Amino acid sequence: MNMKLNTILKLTSGAFAGLLLATVNSANAFTACQVTDLGGVDDKSFNETAWKGVQDAVAKHGIDSKILESKDGTDYEPHLNSMVGAGCDIIVAVGFLMGEATQKAAEANPDSKFTIIDFAYNPTIPNVLGQVFATDQAAFLAGYVSAGVSKTGIVGTFGGINIPPVTGFMDGFAWGVSHYNKVKGKNVQVLGWDPAAKEGLFTNNFDSLDDGRAFAQNLYDEGADIVMPVAGPVGLGSASLADELGSDKLKIIGVDGDWTVTDPARKGVYLTSVMKNMDATTLSVIEMAKSGNFSGGLTVGTLENEGVGIAPYHELSSSVSSDLAAEVEALRKGIISGSIKMN
């Protein structure tokens, strides 16, 4: 008899403290396991999007799933080792910051399969498949449309931590605004990031909604009427500010997933979102492992393969003219064809 048992287990000892959610179908079922980065599985951002990929695999293939939430960086290694010990068939490590811990776990356990989001090893590791995303491509489109929508002629961005998966968004956003200025003869300013100097604003965390609100407030006070927070759930603090001010005063660009969908309570503040379709790539990797076709290496999500993109304008579609929307679509096609150079 195939019985489904949903359990929530609290691990409370030492570095293993965290939340383990397990869906158990049978003793011999294929099991996909995830270790989150900071911010939690319900971050409405990269952890949650990756977990959706795992849950899509559960729904599609009837597999088992487990998850451990990392509360700080010291959790990475023990959590990964815990998943190895649990006999997971594929372990999903979420986030650039887990690169070193994942390499250690993979090299110590060559028969275990790992995939890591936002990290590329050079040389590659035989039992680790890296998932990276050309978020600068999609963020370029978000920067362009933001420049076209802004009433103040000032837009802003800030990051969580100064690491490539964060600054890639910020680069693309700034380049998109610059491209708009070039083709339109405008001078829309970008606050919070200088792509040439690689300097900008960072909260230095991925979990403080108070910081998200404060950083957005500072940018708003300096004239920005559109802000792209690249800091996971920190950006929800920015969205709360925009919700209070009204979208006529401040609009938000979401990241990783479609924030209009994941944060419906504030759906009226999101102009668009720069999406990393980690759910689709994670599902694909799980299916590869389940079918016996898994191999280490690297997969890259781009506009061309729909690994990245921008979300619909949803509630704020009236802010985007038909001409501006058409220009953004032409840019998307130009980036794919190579006719548009982003920087």
Residue 338's pLDDT is 97
pLDDT one-digit tens code per residue, 40-62: 898 888 899 999 999 999 999 99
Amino acid at 277: N
Helices (H), 185-269: 209-221, 234-245, 259-262
* Residue 89 near residue 285 (C-beta atoms within 8 A): no
Residue 28's pLDDT is 62
Residue 44's pLDDT is 81
Domains of the chain: 5-133+278-301 (3.40.50.2300), 135-275+313-337 (3.40.50.2300)
DSSP one-letter string for 221-241: HTT-SEEEEESTTHHHHHHHH
Beta-carbon contacts of residue 163 (< 8 Å; ≥ 6 apart): 96, 97
Per-position pLDDT tens, the chain of length 343: 333 323 223 332 333 334 444 444 455 689 999 999 988 898 888 899 999 999 999 999 999 999 999 999 999 999 999 999 999 999 999 999 999 999 999 999 999 999 999 999 999 999 999 999 999 999 999 999 999 999 999 999 999 999 999 999 999 999 999 999 999 999 999 999 999 999 999 999 999 999 999 999 999 999 999 999 999 999 999 999 999 999 999 999 999 999 999 999 999 999 999 999 999 999 999 999 999 999 999 999 999 999 999 999 999 999 999 999 999 999 999 999 999 999 9
Residue 13's pLDDT is 32
* Residue 48 near residue 95 (C-beta atoms within 8 A): no
- Longest Cα–Cα distance in the chain: 69
Beta-carbon contacts of residue 314 (< 8 Å; ≥ 6 apart): 260, 267, 270, 272
Q: What is the CA radius of gyration of the chain?
A: 20
Residue 325's pLDDT is 98
Residue 6's pLDDT is 31
Amino acid at 279: D
Residue 194's pLDDT is 98
Task: Round to whole Å and give the CA distance between 217 and 306.
Answer: 33
pLDDT one-digit tens code per residue, 64-80: 999 999 999 999 999 99
pLDDT one-digit tens code per residue, 112-124: 999 999 999 999 9
Residue 39's pLDDT is 87
Residue 45's pLDDT is 84
Residue 141's pLDDT is 98
Number of neighbouring beta carbons within 10 Å of residue 101: 22
